[in-house]
A = this chain, B = another copy of it.
């Protein structure tokens, strides 16, 4: 269990398989996010149909509601949400650190107030691991501090805390968990500072985790800074363990991440933009509310083989979005997840074929990014 087979590389891109108690995950792979024990607007049977092999769920949210002990008593998270593929849980750290005025950090842990009812709670590295034990995820994450990435002093302090807490997480997992049933991954911090990243990798490698995440990116730095950080950090990572880039999931970031040796991604982006009425495509994001789609009989994305694109027109999807119909959320979510999971499959095949470099170059040449890094307006 939890062995990683690296099949081949193409440049820095890697194709492999990560074995878990809930199936073998072909890498590189994207994990759809099911924050509250459901990937929003998608049924588990549809996740299978989309080819998903791993999803992410959130420790903070499940601890709050319905409670990790309830989920344990009902047979664990896989049974609770009827998903028999692999599950990765985050540590809750990112959420509780995001609570701002509602949390207080000390050397031992974080005390915070619930976003639901204001009640007071406390997470420590040990508590985070205990919750993840109750959830029964295949991959658990260390309780870490994810700081804003640009302030060196803040980042250094967060690294020190993250490293100390990583040891405590590992100790707790060995003490009260079963490392043959659940794998604990370490999280590299260090912001945009190469020496801090290097030190973080070095420190965590000593703890010999079965997988390593790159945390603290896609949280405020520019895309160029993110890619530069990956360029500097990835060569230091062990080659025989899966590498996970947390919270990243735009099509161009997936391609750029795979090109730098990332094996695993997760992000709310495809499901969130779907509920905002936008479709991800191979040429950029499109807003389905736009008037130009009102009369278009073409599918959301030409050539796409997802359920939405093989059955419905842009005009229909736009109508659903404008009328605020749940089916609009469903269809766009299916499409966006289908695109990202298809991209991952295509990239894996290209790595195995030795054609990944050309694949990535062609994809990025055709793609118009959205948001502050984009120079071109979104398509549509």
Contacts and interface: CB of A to CB of B under 8 A. Distances in A.
Nearest to A324: B36
A172 B250 CA distance: 54
Nearest to A75: B297
Interface stretch (A40-48, A177-185, A196-204): A40-48
Contacts of A295: 70, 73-74
A94 interface: no
A66 B326 contact: no
Interface string A14-49: 000000000000000000000011101111110000
B38 A320 contact: yes
Interface stretch (A213-221, A309-317, A339-347, A361-369): A309-317
Given A65-B319, A326-B329, A311 B37 contact: no
Contacts of A319: 36-37, 65-66
Given A319-B37, A326-B41, A330-B41, A313 B80 contact: yes
Contact of A74 (B38, B297, B327): B297
Contacts of A326: 38, 40-41, 326, 329-330
Given A70-B295, A297-B74, A315-B80, A323 B45 contact: no
A307 B36 contact: no
B327 A41 contact: yes
Contacts of A42: 327
A330 B41 CA distance: 8
15 contacts: A37-B316, A38-B320, A41-B330, A43-B327, A44-B311, A65-B323, A66-B294, A66-B319, A70-B294, A74-B315, A75-B297, A80-B313, A80-B315, A82-B311, A326-B326
Closest 7 CB pairs of A and B: A41-B326, A82-B311, A66-B319, A38-B327, A36-B323, A38-B325, A80-B316
